């Protein structure tokens, strides 16, 4: 019997090897094939094993679920499941949305007495980079593996994933201190432009991988919100550059 399962929590080839190892050790499992990019595991069993038993065989960081097959005759059932999935997605994105809300609120409060759109955007971008780099630095070893799953430059140049949190910290300080702002804006366009290309490709390919925007401390799915988050920063950088030239 062949069964396909979704596996969440895999970020690198070590994760892939680990999942294959633990599942292969179960009785009645004759073959395990893991697809890291698709986030799936194909199991061949001599006797059916329930999902709960498979989940218990894996470390806590991995979440295993039966891959749902499409059924064109069950439109109402699909509709309700889609609503549940959307609700679950929003729940997972809650930390990201809250952080962006607090950053925006803090930036507004800094200038509400003497309002300036340009000053607001500079502080928003500075706080954005500082906060997001903080979460990435909580796990400097794990972040590069997650990041290169979708960032094109990190895939080709592994060291880029290691220094990326420090680039964000430097950019955040440059914006907050108003130091060489033009250079910081250009670097922002380049850095986030590259990442956005990778995010867009991941979304179009409908791959199920984890977003590394908040490091590995929080398990965030790669969704449209990640694209919007990068797009906001890119638009701000473009507006600031147009305003200066």
Q: What dihedral do alpha carbons 28, 31, 34, 39 form, nearest 10°?
A: -40
**pLDDT tens column, 173-209:** 999 999 999 999 999 999 999 999 988 888 887 776 6
Cα-to-chain-centroid distance, residue 239: 26
Residue-level pLDDT at 74 = 43
Neighbours of 49 (CB within 10 A): 18
| pLDDT value of residue 169 | 96
C-alpha distances out from residue 137 to 68, 216, 220, 233, 241, Å: 36, 9, 16, 20, 29
- Rounded average pLDDT over 166-179: 96
pLDDT at 216: 65
What domains can be seen in the chain, in order of their start residue? 2-66 (3.30.70.100), 89-244 (no CATH)
Identify whether the C-beta of residue 65 lies closer than 8 Å to the C-beta of residue 84: no
Q: Which segment of 38-42, 82-86, 126-130 scores lowest on mean pLDDT?
A: 82-86
Q: What are the tens digits of pLDDT across the range 129-148?
A: 999 999 889 888 888 888 88
Question: Which pLDDT value is given to residue 227?
Answer: 81
| Range of 31-40, 84-93, 154-163, 194-203 with top mean pLDDT | 154-163
The pLDDT value given to residue 76: 43
- Do 151 and 195 meet the contact criterion of CB atoms below 8 Å apart? yes
CB 220 within 8 A of CB 96: yes
Nearest to 243 by CA among 122, 114, 92, 155: 122
Alpha carbon 143 to its chain's center: 10
Contact 5, 66 (CB under 8 A): yes
Query: What does the pLDDT average to over 79-86?
Result: 49
d(CA 111, CA 113): 6
- Assess whether pLDDT exceeds 60 at residue 113: yes
Contact 121, 236 (CB under 8 A): yes
What local confidence, expressed as pLDDT, does residue 208 receive? 65
The whole-number average pLDDT for the span 60-68 is: 83
């Amino acid at each position: 019997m062949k069964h396909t399962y979704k596996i969440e929590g895999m970020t690198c080839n070590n994760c892939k090897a680990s999942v294959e190892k633990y599942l292969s050790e179960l009785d009645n499992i004759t073959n395990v094939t893991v697809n890291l990019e698709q986030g799936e595991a194909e199991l061949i069993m001599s006797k059916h094993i329930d999902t709960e038993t498979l989940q218990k065989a894996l470390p806590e960081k991995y979440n295993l679920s039966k891959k749902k097959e499409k059924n064109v005759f069950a439109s109402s059932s699909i509709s309700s499941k889609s609503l549940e999935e959307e609700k679950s997605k929003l729940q997972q994105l809650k930390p990201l949305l809250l952080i962006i809300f607090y950053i925006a609120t803090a930036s507004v409060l800094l200038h509400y007495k003497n309002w300036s759109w340009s000053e607001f955007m500079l502080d928003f971008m500075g706080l954005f980079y500082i906060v997001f780099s903080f979460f990435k630095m909580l796990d400097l070893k794990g972040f590069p593996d997650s990041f290169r799953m979708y960032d094109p430059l990190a895939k080709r140049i592994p060291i880029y994933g290691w220094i990326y949190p420090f680039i964000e910290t430097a950019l955040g300080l440059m914006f907050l201190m108003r130091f060489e702002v033009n250079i910081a804006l250009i670097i922002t366009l380049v850095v986030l432009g590259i990442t956005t290309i990778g995010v867009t490709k991941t979304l179009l390919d409908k791959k199920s991988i984890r977003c590394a925007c908040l490091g590995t401390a929080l398990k965030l799915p790669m969704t449209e919100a990640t694209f919007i988050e990068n797009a906001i920063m890119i638009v701000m950088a473009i507006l600031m550059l147009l305003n200066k030239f």
